[in-house]
Amino acid sequence: MNGDSAEQIVRPENAWWKGAVTYHIYPRSFLDTTNSGVGDLNGIIAKLDYIADLGVDAVWLSPFFTSPMADYGYDVSDYRNVDPIFGNLDDFDRLISGAHERGLKIIIDQVYSHTSEEHPWFNESRQSRDSDKSDWYVWADPKKDGTPPNNWQSVFGGPGWTWDSRRGQYYMHQFLKEQPQLNVQNPVVQEELLSIAKFWLDRGVDGFRLDAINHAMHDPELRDNPPSNRPMDQVTRSFDMQIKMYNQSRPEVVGFLEKLRALLNQYSDRYTVAEVGGDNPIREMQAFTQGNTRLNTAYSFDFLYAPHMTPDVVKGSLNNWSGKPGEGWPAWAFSNHDAPRAVSRWAPQEYRDEAAKMYLMLLLSLRGNAFLYQGEELGLSQGQVPFDRLLDPEAIANWPKTLGRDGARTPMPWQHDADYAGFSGVEPWLPVDADQQARAVDTQVNNGDSMLAFTKRLIWLRKERPAIRAGSITFANAPKNVLCFWRSLDDVHTLCVYNMGAEKIKWRPAGAETCRVLISGSGLSDHQEVPEVLNGYDAYWARQVT
């Protein structure tokens, strides 16, 4: 490979979102300004300078809409309003304004597959089979023996149907029974969802993250799903025992996404990313993002739920995205509000400091967009939440088989010596984790050797190196537990090397002799030659020089 110097790089002309780094905020756990024990929109506004100083391009907000909070905001009862616990629409408008003043984009969740059972639409739908909204949800008659119409299971375990005595029918729910399934096949429902999207676009949001969008449609014939035949030692939910052929991943979803994209095209520089879960999400991710008439990007749970992180896991995911004409653009997250923090899933306790840096370097060097979850910039591991403090219905149902989601949602630690880590003046909705509080923002913000400083340096380098932000990726041969690839754009090449195990390895890749270090987990100085020895969970980026 022939190299070039950083000074000669010409930044590619791309949409702002291509290669963007997005900071994911879970509002309940970010900062409480009202002493309610729950974070709020004004807490996000108060920390906009902190977020902008990270160097990220955008902020994704988990739901803040009116909700009874059975699933902590993903059960929406009013799509066009802010739940009072988070603030009000004026607060949201100030958040948009403050973010835009700092060059930050705002992405919000849209939950189109289901609502809360307390939504007025559902209340009307359940009253009668003849009302205006009778077919806004998925209803079905029981079998002759009174059992549900088919064998579909919910994500949180148990049947995906609940009997409603008012209508004398079952209603479908892919998640909690408090989250009835919208009938998104209904064109009238689609138009209402597009109207909701327009409401938020008109308020200035820069795009949407579409929650569980591949759950949005179902088989009208209500056929039974076939068994997955997964070994029982790999099963935590009845949901895992089926191939979700008929209640998930329906091809009809694409038509609705094209309508949504047509709406967004009426606004400038808007962005859409789909959450695509499931056993085989790549086909859907690529279908959802193909060409220029659908979504911009999609991310799966390839890494979010991966129990181990290895070179083969990374290559297996990235190699699904070849960059061929018409193919969409991928996005990646290692941690979020739905998954235990990556460093706790993948790294031994004694290597978590080193691993936190290595994993962040990896995330920010993959081809695609990167989603950084609040606290990841501090090197936070999974928070410890005792059973009697668990609130997440999934965590409670699967205790102690899984880590659950509450431990990823514990309050953001702002001050190491303040009550409740400076998150709130009262007992928070989830307990503050002591290990996380020791890594609070105030202990790192003025420390040039901290994880926070390291994160800022990485994000800055990603922006300054278009090959990393938007270039191609080529994997190279490497020893066991080592991942090595080149990021390239035109004649500019960046070498990225990761030791994904604890064992020290003596090895240099081919071509490394022409490279100089940009950054490393172990603190190698800029311009230093590429090292011959990689310590456990160490990594480096290096630029090729002429």
DSSP per residue over 309-326, as a string?
Answer: --HHHHHHHHTT----TT
- CA separation (Å) from 495 to 509, 511, 543, 545? 9, 9, 6, 11
Cα–Cα distance for residue pair 391/427, rounded to 1 Å: 15
Cα–Cα distance for residue pair 84/286, rounded to 1 Å: 38
Pairing between β-strand 539-544 and β-strand 492-499 as defined by DSSP bridges: antiparallel
Torsion of CA 109, 114, 116, 117, to 10 degrees: 180
Which DSSP letter does residue 214 get?
G
CA nearest neighbour of 213 among 63, 339, 285, 112: 112
Cα–Cα distance for residue pair 317/320, rounded to 1 Å: 6
Q: Of 211, 284, 302, 376, which is the active-site residue?
A: 211
Q: Return the structure tokens found at 115.
A: 């609502």
Cα–Cα distance for residue pair 256/294, rounded to 1 Å: 9
Type of residue found at 330: P
Number of CB atoms found within 10 A of residue 18's CB: 16
Helix (H) or strand (E) holding 533: strand 533-534
Query: Are 485 and 311 within 8 A, CB to CB?
Result: no
Half-sphere exposure of residue 20: CA atoms within 13 angstroms, side-chain side: 27
Cα–Cα distance for residue pair 344/348, rounded to 1 Å: 8
Q: Which residues contact 168 (CB under 8 A, 6 or more apart)?
A: none
Computed on alpha carbons and rounded to an integer, the radius of gyration of the chain in Å comes to 24
Torsions phi, psi of 254, nearest 5?
-60, -40
| 3-state class (DSSP) for residue 140 | strand
Cα–Cα distance for residue pair 38/494, rounded to 1 Å: 43
Torsion of CA 90, 83, 372, 383, to 10 degrees: 140
Q: Return the structure tokens found at 31.
A: 């900062």
Q: Of 71, 178, 275, 354, which is the active-site residue?
A: 275
- Is 275 tagged catalytic? yes
Q: Which residues contact 90 (CB under 8 A, 6 or more apart)?
A: none
Active-site residue list = 211, 275
